[in-house]
A = this chain, B = another copy of it.
Amino acid sequence: MASTNPNDFKFIREIPEGDDLERHVCTDCGWIHYENPKIVVGSVVTYEDKFLLCRRAIEPRKGFWTLPAGFMEQKETTEEGAAREAWEEAEAKIIVEDLLAIYNVTHISQVQIMYRAHLEAPEYKPGKESLEVDLFAWDEIPWDQLAFPTVVWALHQYRDVKGQKHIAPFGNATGDLYKQSFEMLTR
């Protein structure tokens, strides 16, 4: 795949006219590459008392387990994006319910918008970005083999409000959950 790193191209950093911040400007053609935070859309997907997880076939964190989630595409809604990602990663048709959390992962300028969702039937199989897909009861979740701290956050926060109909969404984990979410993951 071609490089997506601006540093591999003839960009310089300068403040465009009428702007306040430095941007990547191409010295070949003048194109200004505005970088804005990217949206990840995903969901905690359940079937009965089990959670749908996907083992990643791609980097980063290849081989580790994650929730179905990925970069939002143009012209779709956040809910449509979450459903599309579940289909692409797990060939799972999900019913998106409501907003569970918004996570701000500022060091990579990512906003993760995570929904509660469920499967109508236990039908799924690995999409091309997954090695395996499976349903796990809470005690079966491979906690030390999860891909990202935000996966730990979403699963715990989901459990905290289980059965509640109208919830105020969570933000980034704090306190013990935040700390443990980094400690429990195998590096």
A: which residues have CB within 8 A of B?
1-4, 6, 9-10, 16-19, 21, 25-26, 28-39, 71-79, 98-99, 102, 104, 106-107, 109, 111, 113, 166-169
Contacts and interface: CB of A to CB of B under 8 A. Distances in A.
A168 to B, nearest CB: 4
Contacts of A39: 36-37, 39, 111
Q: Which 9 A-B pairs have the closest CB atoms?
A: A77-B104, A1-B18, A166-B168, A74-B109, A28-B28, A9-B31, A37-B72, A36-B38, A75-B106
Number of copies: 2
A169 B111 CA distance: 17
Given A102-B113, A168-B168, 7 more contacts: A1-B18, A2-B25, A36-B71, A36-B72, A37-B72, A39-B111, A78-B111
B33 A33 contact: yes
Contacts of A167: 166, 168
Contact of A109 (B3, B33, B75, B102): B75
Given A2-B16, A10-B29, A19-B1, A35 B74 contact: yes
